[in-house]
């Protein structure tokens, strides 16, 4: 049926020129003018309009997604090369958000996965002498292994080579076609294989180089199927005006609005020259463009195990997504192409697209194609996942770019995790062990009567919650560390070690101080658990709780009063080992350098250190 539509329209040959200096489209077809039925979708709870749609056949979204379910996605990573710290960064952030939402009691569906079709994959596979599918299996598994090392608690891992994904893509394509938004045309333009995208000459550097990948784009001419993106210009503009929170951070919204205002061009959604892809329904000489295919992974991932894949079922299991977390490099695909595709197919729009900044190396985006990457596996091996997760979420303001430095990494992690939190817990448990047989004398609620620390902690916990809700992950970490600072201050001001020496009432007061400080650390463990889950689990174990107890913790347990009198703490054991330069944690390199420099003159020492 789809082919019949296309063939009949091919007969109405007319030329259409799309205004681009380089890319000219000559349609062999005439699109039947599309009727502009504008259906408004309403949010089930708020009754506010959620989206526009030109498709008369709309699919109902999951009625529960507004309140109870939180669906969030990372990009589906391209398997042209193994993951690097940039891919890990988005996924760590998504994991912290997912864990926070679970603490709030939401049913979370956290989707990640791999994007496995397209020319770049076929080329990468052949350059290692393997078939595309062998290559995809290998790299996809690399991602899964890394997510395990980094304690990523994803619920769905979708591969775009999954059979269920192909079924959903074909069905979606057919819906868009049935809505009159796909036509066939010749296309000529400059193509960046690394972006898998045709480019405008004005976006390119000298020699037609892609600004992201610094490689020349290739002049290409193909007969392709096109998606009528231009038809959605007005609807997209209106949607963004009506719902400015759709694109976050807010400064990225301006960028998206200016792309749209500058005029949207239809884009080609098939490739005649690429075999490694999903065949276009009713035209197996072409495969579906990798982006058109990959974006649908967010929906096909919602198909329940063992269920017959179909769009209706997938959508009713959690669509629309609450949040697409992406890097700013792929904002246009998510904030312009994707909403238009969804409008065309009659599906709800995701509630938010958040485009974070780049981890950079020498000012350039770290990326697989440039090869200037930082190995997350090595970092986890050297410093542990708690430290890696904490550092990147704390150090890089979420939304902005950030550079990595090992010195900074060690300083931050030691100061915050080892000193402010770990040491506070260890010192307090040591005193409790020595003076109170590791047993709490009273309930923490009683111990805090008349003490300022409780209020300080309550205020800071609220702050942390608000920051998590706003996806200000760095500020959330900062608020939690402030709680630790307040606990340390209380310890130093009250000096319980000297009160214990006085005995009597002073000793009782000291025992209460220990309870207060331990309650503070307990609250830190709940509030920091989205960021550094294993560290927080170890803190809970030190406070005498079982693993099951920790697994069932919710955000409501940041409320003061959890620790009860009579509760027995574990034997004090450091929960976070300081990273020392020159220990195994930095591969012993610094130690070796120091040794070599010892006894030498200042100049010779400087030379040895510089060479190292």
Binding residues (CB under 6 A) for ligand ATP: these are: 75, 77-78, 80, 86-87, 89-90, 194, 326-327, 329-330, 358-359, 365-370
Give the separation between CA 229 and CA 343, rounded to whole angstroms: 10
To the nearest whole angstrom, how small is the minimum distance from the Cβ of residue 401 to ligand ATP? 8
* Token duo for residue 257: 């609005």
To the nearest whole angstrom, how small is the minimum distance from the Cβ of residue 94 to ligand ATP? 9
CA angle centred on 98, ends 96 and 99, rounded to 5°: 65
Peptide bond into 249 cis (omega under 30): yes
Which among 49, 40, 43, 48 has a CA at the least distance from the CA of 63? 43
Phi, psi (degrees; rounded to nearest 5) at 452: -75, -25
Tell me whether residue 9 or residue 91 sits nearer to ligand ATP (CB atom).
91
Tell me whether residue 149 or residue 188 sits nearer to ligand ATP (CB atom).
149
Give the separation between CA 147 and CA 377, rounded to whole angstroms: 10
To the nearest whole angstrom, how small is the minimum distance from the Cβ of residue 14 to ligand ATP? 37
Query: What are the CA-CA distances from residue 337 to residues 16, 295, 562, 566 (Å)?
Result: 21, 9, 49, 60
To the nearest whole angstrom, how small is the minimum distance from the Cβ of residue 326 to ligand ATP? 5
Tell me whether residue 205 or residue 446 sits nearer to ligand ATP (CB atom).
205
Query: Is the CA virtual torsion 135, 136, 141, 142 positive or negative?
Result: positive
To the nearest whole angstrom, how small is the minimum distance from the Cβ of residue 157 to ligand ATP? 15
To the nearest whole angstrom, how small is the minimum distance from the Cβ of residue 594 to ligand ATP? 33
CB atoms within 10 A of CB 183: 24
Strand partners, 39: 53
* Token duo for residue 403: 């550079």
Tell me whether residue 330 or residue 460 sits nearer to ligand ATP (CB atom).
330
**Residue of this chain nearest to ligand ATP (CB atom):** 86
Tell me whether residue 226 or residue 390 sits nearer to ligand ATP (CB atom).
390
Q: What is the DSSP letter of 544?
A: T
Q: Are 248 and 51 in contact (CB under 8 A)?
A: no
Give the separation between CA 283 and CA 187, rounded to whole angstroms: 18
Tell me whether residue 124 or residue 460 sits nearer to ligand ATP (CB atom).
124
Helix/strand/coil percentages in the chain, nearest 5: 50, 15, 35
Tell me whether residue 94 or residue 457 sits nearer to ligand ATP (CB atom).
94
Give the separation between CA 534 and CA 390, rounded to whole angstroms: 11
Tell me whether residue 183 or residue 358 sits nearer to ligand ATP (CB atom).
358
* Token duo for residue 558: 């940041």
Tell me whether residue 227 or residue 398 sits nearer to ligand ATP (CB atom).
398
To the nearest whole angstrom, how small is the minimum distance from the Cβ of residue 329 to ligand ATP? 5
To the nearest whole angstrom, how small is the minimum distance from the Cβ of residue 297 to ligand ATP? 13
CB atoms within 10 A of CB 10: 14
To the nearest whole angstrom, how small is the minimum distance from the Cβ of residue 368 to ligand ATP? 4
């Amino acid at each position: 049926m789809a082919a019949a539509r296309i063939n009949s329209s091919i007969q109405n040959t007319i030329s259409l020129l799309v205004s681009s200096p380089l890319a000219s489209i000559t349609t062999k077809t005439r699109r039947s003018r599309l009727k502009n039925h504008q259906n408004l979708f309403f949010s089930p709870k708020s009754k506010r309009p959620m989206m526009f749609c030109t498709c008369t056949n709309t699919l109902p979204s999951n009625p529960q997604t507004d309140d109870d379910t939180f669906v969030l996605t990372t990009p589906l990573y391209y398997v042209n090369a193994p993951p690097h710290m940039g891919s890990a960064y988005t996924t760590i952030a998504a994991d912290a958000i997912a864990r926070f939402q679970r603490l709030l009691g939401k049913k979370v569906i956290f989707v990640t996965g791999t994007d496995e079709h397209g020319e770049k994959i076929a080329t990468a596979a052949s350059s290692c002498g393997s078939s595309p599918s062998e290559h995809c299996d290998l790299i996809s598994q690399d991602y899964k292994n890394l997510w395990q090392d980094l304690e990523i608690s994803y619920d769905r891992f979708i591969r775009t080579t999954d059979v269920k994904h192909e079924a959903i893509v074909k069905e979606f394509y057919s819906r868009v076609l049935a809505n009159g938004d796909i036509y066939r045309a010749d296309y000529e333009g400059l193509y960046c294989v690394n972006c898998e995208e045709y480019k405008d000459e004005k976006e390119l550097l000298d020699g037609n180089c892609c600004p992201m990948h610094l490689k020349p784009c290739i002049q290409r001419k193909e007969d392709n199927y096109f998606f009528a993106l231009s038809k959605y210009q007005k609807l997209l503009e209106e949607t963004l005006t009506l719902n400015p929170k759709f694109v976050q951070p807010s400064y990225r919204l301006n960028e998206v609005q200016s792309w749209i205002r500058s005029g949207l061009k239809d884009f080609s959604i098939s490739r005649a020259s690429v075999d490694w892809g999903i065949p276009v329904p009713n035209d197996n000489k072409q495969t579906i463009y990798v982006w058109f295919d990959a974006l649908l992974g967010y929906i096909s991932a919602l198909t329940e195990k063992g269920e017959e894949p179909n769009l209706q079922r997938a959508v009713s299991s959690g669509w629309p997504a609450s949040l697409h977390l992406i890097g700013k490099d792929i904002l246009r695909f998510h904030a312009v192409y994707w909403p238009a595709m969804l409008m065309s197919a009659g599906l709800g729009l995701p509630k938010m697209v958040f485009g974070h900044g780049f981890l950079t190396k020498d000012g350039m985006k770290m990326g697989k194609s440039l090869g200037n990457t930082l190995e997350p596996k090595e970092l986890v091996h050297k410093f542990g996942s708690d430290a890696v997760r904490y550092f990147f979420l704390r150090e890089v303001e979420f939304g902005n770019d950030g550079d990595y430095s090992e010195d900074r990494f060690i300083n931050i992690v030691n100061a915050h995790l080892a000193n402010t939190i770990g040491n506070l817990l260890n010192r307090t448990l040591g005193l409790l062990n020595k003076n109170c047989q590791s047993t709490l004398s009273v309930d923490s609620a009683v111990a805090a009567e008349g003490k300022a620390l409780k209020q300080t902690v309550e205020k800071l916990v609220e702050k942390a919650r608000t920051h998590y809700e706003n996806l200000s992950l760095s500020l959330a970490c900062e608020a939690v560390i402030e709680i630790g600072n307040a606990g340390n201050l209380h310890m130093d001001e009250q000096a319980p070690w000297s009160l214990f020496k006085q005995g009597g009432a002073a000793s009782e007061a000291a025992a209460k101080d220990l309870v207060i400080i331990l309650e503070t650390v307990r609250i830190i463990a709940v509030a920091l658990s989205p960021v550094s889950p294993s560290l927080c689990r170890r803190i809970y174990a030190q406070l005498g709780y079982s693993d099951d107890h920790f697994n069932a913790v919710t955000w409501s347990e940041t409320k003061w009063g959890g620790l009860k009198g009579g509760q027995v703490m574990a034997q004090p054991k450091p929960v976070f080992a300081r990273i020392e330069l020159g220990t195994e944690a930095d591969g012993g390199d610094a130690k070796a350098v120091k040794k070599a420099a010892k006894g030498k003159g200042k100049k010779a020492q400087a030379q040895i250190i510089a060479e190292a």
